[in-house]
Amino acid sequence: MAAIREFEPIDDAGVDALLREAFAGEAEARLVRALRAAGDVALELVAEDADGIAGMVLFSKMISPRGALAMAPLAVAPRAQGKGFGGSLIAAGLARAEMAGWLAAFVLGAPGLYARHGFSVEAAAHFPGPYPARFMLARALCAGGLADPAPLVYAPAFAALGS
Ligand SMILES: CC(C)(COP(=O)(O)OP(=O)(O)OC[C@H]1O[C@@H](n2cnc3c(N)ncnc32)[C@H](O)[C@@H]1OP(=O)(O)O)[C@@H](O)C(=O)NCCC(=O)NCCS
């Protein structure tokens, strides 16, 4: 069972190594550093197992819609995948975001992985953004949290992802 807690500065190297391993590259590690540096992180959680940092999830503040969060990246170390760490990180993050009063969360990815956490493509339909609509999912975090259509504008650090 994973212990899930808030990211602390001492986790920096462990999270960096995790991201490079899980994504087989540097882009996500750079994204996380840029989001932290810009003050655009709303919530960052880590999962720990006996060997250290085994997973992480970050929720960043979106420019539009206001009050919404982007859930990215989500990563679990290859050694720990398939044990429920990813699902636990998502659930813990959404619960905290809801408690903190955020309106909604958006995620880009495989619908099958996120549907069980209340995300759907339909909920994101009125929020046109920079990514393919069939992989863009949303979930309200309070009643009416997705009531007002708006363009999706991510924190500036996302513009550099993949470049
Ligand atoms: C995707 C990832 C976070 C899942 O973490 P995990 O701890 O292995 O996930 P869990 O054990 O909590 O859940 C696994 C479940 O999700 C499903 N799943 C895992 N990856 C999936 C994917 N890409 N698409 C659809 N379903 C997926 C599994 O089949 C499993 O379903 P089950 O519970 O019915 O058997 C992990 O594989 C990972 O870090 N991958 C590399 C980075 C990445 O792709 N991140 C997501 C995009 S930012």
* Longest CA–CA separation in the chain, Å: 44
Q: What is the 3-state secondary structure (H, E, C) of 38-95?
A: HCCEEEEEEEEECCEEEEEEEEEECCECCCEEEEEEEEECHHHCCCCHHHHHHHHHHH
| Ligand 1, atom 25, residue with closest C-alpha | 113
| Ligand 1, atom 43, residue with closest C-alpha | 75
How does residue 160 score in pLDDT terms, banded at 50, 70 and 90?
A: confident
CA–CA separation, 105 and 116 (whole Å): 14
CA–CA separation, 142 and 18 (whole Å): 32
Q: Is the CB of 76 under 6 A from ligand 1?
A: yes
How does residue 154 score in pLDDT terms, banded at 50, 70 and 90?
A: very high
Q: Is the CB of 84 under 6 A from ligand 1?
A: yes
| Ligand 1, atom 17, residue with closest C-alpha | 113
Q: Is the CB of 112 under 6 A from ligand 1?
A: yes
Average pLDDT, the chain: 96
CB 136 within 8 A of CB 106: yes
Say which residue, 162 or 80, is predicted with more confidence: 80
Enumerate domains of the chain plus CATH numbers. 3-160 (3.40.630.30)
Exposure string (b/e) for 19-45, b if CB count within 10 Å is 16 or more? Answer: bbebeeeebbbbbbebbbeeebbbbbb
Q: Is the CB of 104 under 6 A from ligand 1?
A: no
Q: Is the CB of 133 under 6 A from ligand 1?
A: no
Beta sheet of 3-6, edge-to-edge order: 3-6, 41-49, 52-61, 68-76, 104-108, 136-140
Q: Report pLDDT digits (tens) over 20-35.
A: 999 999 999 999 999 9
Average pLDDT over residues 125-130: 95
C-alpha triplet 37, 43, 44: angle, nearest 5°: 75
